[in-house]
Amino acid sequence: MATVLAIETSCDETAVAVVNNRKVESSVITSQIPVHRQYGGVVPEVASREHLETINGAIAIALEEAKLDWKQIDGIAATCAPGLVGALLVGLTAAKTLAMLYDKPFLGVHHLEGHIYATYLSEPTLEPPFLSLLVSGGHTSLIYVKECGIYETLGQTRDDAAGEAFDKVARLLELGYPGGPAIDQLAVQGNPQAFTLPEGKVSLPTGGYHRYDTSFSGLKTAVLRLVQQLEKDDLPIPVADVAASFQETVARVLTKRAIACALDNKLSTIAVGGGVAANSGLRKHLQQASLEHNLRVLFPPMKFCTDNAAMIGCCAAEHLSLGHTSPLTLGVQSRLPLTSVMALYRH
């Protein structure tokens, strides 16, 4: 079993973890939410500077909490794509430096593959094939997980990601940043049937609608027009009802497509990953639907839904055990399809 020290700096969390195969020995996450909240979203340059200030301390704490020294570390990993280029460079440079300093194998990890592996941290016996529903601030995809490094995208958003839609609607309702948790908390107080909102179906050229693809841009616009109409009519905006109706629509859309995709492809397990995996509405809908269709649905622990280094370490440990390593010349990329994961490794 491989023990890996992993670094995650793709966006606004400085995270370091030590993972032994699928067991987390330590996990350190320094959030930048208070810093970016005043701007209503992540400022890339600010994120990079924050990573620079906290990365060394996070590495030291992760090693200390794991009660390990560098001789007991088998490899060093860092997220290399996709993400904010400046932020990624901080983590990748730190990982490469450590790999050279301590003569350890280096691995560059795809951020989305990390989210797939987050489920393994609570379900260590999970094995492919299964369907992964990745829902975060930047991605909404249905992935056929065939084996380590081998993936097929079966469905995806055509515009806004689910998490991005949550943030934009929260900003519209003046709920602050980040939007996902704010809407989730408020939705509990509202009526999810108060307003009928569009599901954002994606039309096919031959007629009908795509069974797996999603679109959240129209849903976001519908909420905007609803609020504008209420203001025009000089009516109070029932913020809790709007939040609940919006969340209900997103959860229903994602559940419907995930269930259809799993059944069509004869996959009995759906593993959910990404920040939106923490949403209570999605969890409720998907768990109920999976029972009705005799499917197994798996969610990571809440602490591993959002960006963290434990999922990166778990992924890297599996690649390292298969003999996969990355060259020290590997760079960062703001975009990289999940289907190109194996291009990151020598094997």
**Residues comprising the binding site for substrate?**
134-138, 167, 180, 184, 279
| Residue 3 β-bridge partners | 20
In SS3 terms, the chain reads as CCEEEEEECCCCEEEEEEEECCEEEEEEEEECHHHHHCCCCCCHHHHHHHHHHHHHHHHHHHHHHHCCCHHHCCEEEEEEECCCHHHHHHHHHHHHHHHHHCCCCEEEEEHHHHHHHHHHHCCCCCCCCEEEEEECCCCEEEEEEEECCEEEEEEEECCCCHHHHHHHHHHHCCCCCCHHHHHHHHHCCCCCCCCCCCCCCCECCCCCECCCCECCHHHHHHHHHHHHHHHHCCCCCCHHHHHHHHHHHHHHHHHHHHHHHHHHCCCCEEEEECHHHHCHHHHHHHHHHHHHCCCEEECCCHHHCCCCHHHHHHHHHHHHHCCCECCCCCCCCCCCCHHHHHHHCEC
One-letter identity of residue 235: L
Contact 328, 100 (CB under 8 A): yes
Q: What is the largest CA-CA distance in the chain?
A: 69
Point out the annotated binding site: 111, 115, 134-138, 167, 180, 184, 279, 307
Residue 183, token pair as written in the block: 């809407």
Point out the annotated binding site for Fe cation: 111, 115, 307
How far, in Å, CA of 64 to CA of 66, rounded? Answer: 5
